[in-house]
Amino acid sequence: MNLADTIRTIPDYPRKGILFRDITTLMGDARAFRRSVDELVHPFAGAKIDKVAGIEARGFILGGAIAHQLSAGFVPIRKKGKLPHATIRVAYSLEYGVDEMEMHKDGVLRGERVILVDDLIATGGTAEGAVKLLNSLGAEVVAACFVIDLPELGGADKIRKLGVPVRTLVQFDGH
C-alpha cells in the first residue's frame, strides 16, 4: 500500500495556488490509518516515552493512537483559549500569518521524554512553537513525527536545527 495514494489533494485551498493535503481520507481507511500509526510508533517501540504531545486537531487523532501504542500519556497542544486550566502560551508563525498556541502548565514534567505529533509539517512554525512550549517546561522532545512532509517549505529542517529528530512517512513536492 502506498500511503500517499490514500491522501486527498484539494487544489486552491485555503487559497489559490495551494495544494491542501487532506489526511482525513487516510484516517478513514482502516488499513492506511493502522499502518501510519504503526510506522510512526516503530522506532520508539521499547523506548521509554512518557508522553505524546499532539497538535490540534489532527495531531490529537494520531497522537492519541500513538500514545496508546506506546503506553504513554497524551498532552494536547491547542490554539489559545481552548484549555480550561493554567496554561503557558507561545506565538508561532504560520504560512499565512501569526497565531498562538498553549498547553497546560502541568502537561509535562521536567525530564519527561515526549514525542510531538501532527499530520503535516510545512514551514515548521507550528511544530517549532510546540517544541519551545515543551522545552520551556523541561521536557525532552525525543522526536517530532508527521505523516506528511512538504520538504520545499523547510519545516522539517527547522525542527532538526532545534536538535529534534524528525520522522515523516510521505513527502509531497510543492505546496
| Catalytic option among 58, 102, 112, 167 | 58
Active site residue 128: no
| Catalytic option among 39, 56, 89, 95 | 95
3-state helix/strand/coil string of the chain: CCHHHHCEEEECCCCCCCEEEECHHHHHCHHHHHHHHHHHHHHHCCCCCCEEEEECCHHHHHHHHHHHHHCCEEEEEEECCCCCCCEEEEEEEECCEEEEEEEECCCCCCCCEEEEEEEEECCCHHHHHHHHHHHHCCCEEEEEEEEEECHHHCHHHHHHHCCCCEEEEEECCCC
Active site residue 95: yes
Instruction: Supply the residues annotated as catalytic.
Output: 58, 95
